Structure 1
Amino acid sequence: MAVGVPETDVFAAADAVLARGERPTVERVRLELGRGSPARVGALLDQWWGHLAERLRGETRLPTLPAEVSQSFVAIWQQAMLLAEGVAEQALAERRAVIEAERLQVAAVEDEARQLIAKARQQVAAAQAAQHTAETRLADLELLLVQHQTQLADQKSRCTELAEERRVAVQEVTVLRQELQVAQQQLIHERDTATAYLRGIEDRAHREVDRAREESRLAAAQLKIVTRQHGQLRQRLDTVLSQLLEAQQVAAAEKARASTLEQQLVRPTRARRTKAKPTKSKSKAAAQAETPGSGC
């Protein structure tokens, strides 16, 4: 509602309320006007009550009337004045009560406003402290982020180096596997050769043994008949037994060599280093094997 309503409008509204037989109050006058603040209407209503008393005193000056009528009218007028003064005092008391209530309300609002301001200041201080803490935390996080980024870059570089090392290691492993396969094939070939050689030696030894047995059997059969040849047969038997012993020794050496070659299957590096030696040993063993045979 607008503030600063004219006093004439307030006075007219108060007269209208009084004309209806109601006591003019702030709320009734404001309701009659349809506008006006309580403080403005209350102040003008106080003026209206003062003007009303002057208006009523002016009405006591009546024209010349019969004495009885004049006395009756004056008595009625005085009674109306008393009633009006009572109404005015009651209205003033109500107005004072309204003003006091409004003052208390304003004081409560001011107190609440002070509390809100104090609370707002506390909130502002807390917000500023939280902002400072957040800014400090943000700076720490930014520093931590830089450190993590540096560590991540180092880890990426290390991963690249490890990937290159892994690639080189894979190539080396591939080469070693190929060399191992070649060495295994060579060892298998040498083992097969040695096995065949040992079987040949064993077969020759078995044949020598069989022949020696046959000769021994013949010698035993002819012992009764050819007593003079006993010494020669005995010497020949000793020779055969010596050759058999040498053949068994060669067979044992070849078996040991075959066992060594089988163990070298899991050690291709040592097999490559000692690849020349078995060949020499093989030649030497072959030479040793051929020597007894030639004697036979």
Structure 2
Amino acid sequence: MAVGVPENEVFAAADAVLARGERPTVERVRLELGRGSPARVGGLLDQWWASLAERLSSETRLPTLPAGVSQAFVAVWQQAIHLAQAVAEQGLSEQRQVVTAERERVAVVEDQARQDAALARQHAMVAQAAQQVSETRLADLEALLEQRATQILDLQQQRDSLLRERGDGQQHSQTLHQELNDLRRKAEQERVAQEIYVRGVEDRAHREVDRAREESKHMTAQVKEAGYQLEHLQQRLEGAQDALGQALQNAAAQLARGDTLEQQLVQLRSLPVSERKTRARKKPVPSPAK
């Protein structure tokens, strides 16, 4: 919207509208000009109406006409001036109403603009506060993410350590189980050997007794010698029986040692891996007696 239309252009446009037989209004003058704000044109149009009465009053003298005609023309002219002033007053009133309405409209627009600006500032403040909250929340989430990543790394390291310890424990358990099996197998071999030895001793003793009995039947003449041999055989039999008892005791001891080792293995399996390693270093598994 153009502002600052020259005064003479507005006056010329109003004269042109009046010359066409139309009453000059703000819209007609603006249409004639092709530009100009309603407030600017309305203010200058008020001045034009005021100057129009002065211009009409200055034209009441007509010296070239006859006196009667001049008086009649002056009367008509004055009546026209009064009518023009009435029209001008009416036009000024309408222009004032237009200007007042325009000012009210502008005031409403300005008030709405101020309200919109205040609302925009309020929205901007709310958005800024929300942005600050979001940035703070984002920083907290990033810190929490770093903390969780550190915890996950620690848990992975602990898991790897536990897996290694479990592997070591399984290997140690397998070793102990193998040693226990070896001890059981060796104890079984020694028991079988002891049984074979005992049976051999018994067999030899029986053979010796049988032979002594057989010789005693056939050698009645040699009673003393037979009696001596019989005593000797009895001594050998007692020695064999003692050897058998000792072998049975050794076998029982080997079986007891096997049971003890099996109990120790069960206890080791129920202990944590770290304590198993500590006990294994402090107290190695004893080897079976030969």
CA separation of 1:58/1:172 partners in 2, compared to 1, >3 Å: closer, same or farther? closer
State the aligned residue count. 259
Q: Answer yes or no: is the 8 Å Cα contact 1:3–1:37 preserved in 2.
A: yes
Query: What is the distance in 2 between the residues matched to 1:130 and 1:50?
Result: 60
Aligned partner of 1:294 in structure 2 is none
Establish whether residue 44 from structure 1 lines up as the match of residue 56 from structure 2.
no
The Cα offsets for residues 44-70 of structure 1, whole Å up to 9 and x where unpaired, read as: 211221222233334444442595797
Query: What is the distance in 2 between the residues matched to 1:209 and 1:60?
Result: 185
Aligned partner of 1:275 in structure 2 is 287
Q: 2:28 is aligned with what amino acid?
A: R
The Cα offsets for residues 226-278 of structure 1, whole Å up to 9 and x where unpaired, read as: xxxxxx9xx999989978975774564355234334332574769955426x2
Q: 1:97 is aligned with what amino acid?
A: Q
Aligned partner of 2:193 in structure 1 is 197
| Cα shift at 1:5 | 2.1
CA separation of 1:241/1:157 partners in 2, compared to 1, >3 Å: closer, same or farther? same
Aligned partner of 2:89 in structure 1 is 89
Query: What is the distance in 1 between the residues matched to 2:2 and 2:113?
Result: 25
Q: Percent identity?
A: 41
The TM-score normalised by the length of structure 2 is: 0.59
Query: What is the distance in 2 between the residues matched to 1:60 and 1:159?
Result: 114
The TM-score normalised by the length of structure 1 is: 0.58
Aligned partner of 2:65 in structure 1 is 64
Q: 1:194 is aligned with what amino acid?
A: E
Aligned partner of 2:11 in structure 1 is 11
Query: What is the distance in 2 between the residues matched to 1:118 and 1:175?
Result: 78
CA separation of 1:184/1:31 partners in 2, compared to 1, >3 Å: closer, same or farther? same
CA separation of 1:125/1:261 partners in 2, compared to 1, >3 Å: closer, same or farther? same
The Cα offsets for residues 195-252 of structure 1, whole Å up to 9 and x where unpaired, read as: 321441464477479879x96xx99xx9xxxxxxxxx9xx999989978975774564
Unaligned 5+ segments in structure 1 are 223-231, 280-296
| Cα shift at 1:25 | 0.9
The Cα offsets for residues 81-136 of structure 1, whole Å up to 9 and x where unpaired, read as: 3442232112111121122223323443454455456657766777887788889x
SS in structure 2 at match of 1:35: coil
| Cα shift at 1:24 | 0.8
**Which stretch shifts more, 196-205 or 8-17?**
196-205
Establish whether residue 260 from structure 1 lines up as the match of residue 256 from structure 2.
yes
Aligned partner of 1:101 in structure 2 is 101
Query: What is the distance in 2 between the residues matched to 1:120 and 1:74?
Result: 65
Query: What is the distance in 1 between the residues matched to 2:283 and 2:127?
Result: 80
Q: 1:42 is aligned with what amino acid?
A: G
Query: What is the distance in 1 between the residues matched to 2:143 and 2:120?
Result: 35
Query: What is the distance in 2 between the residues matched to 1:237 and 1:23?
Result: 171
Q: Answer yes or no: is the 8 Å Cα contact 2:5–2:40 preserved in 1.
A: yes
Q: Answer yes or no: is the 8 Å Cα contact 1:208–1:240 preserved in 2.
A: no
Query: What is the distance in 2 between the residues matched to 1:155 and 1:90?
Result: 90
CA separation of 1:19/1:132 partners in 2, compared to 1, >3 Å: closer, same or farther? same
SS in structure 1 at match of 2:36: coil
CA separation of 1:65/1:255 partners in 2, compared to 1, >3 Å: closer, same or farther? farther
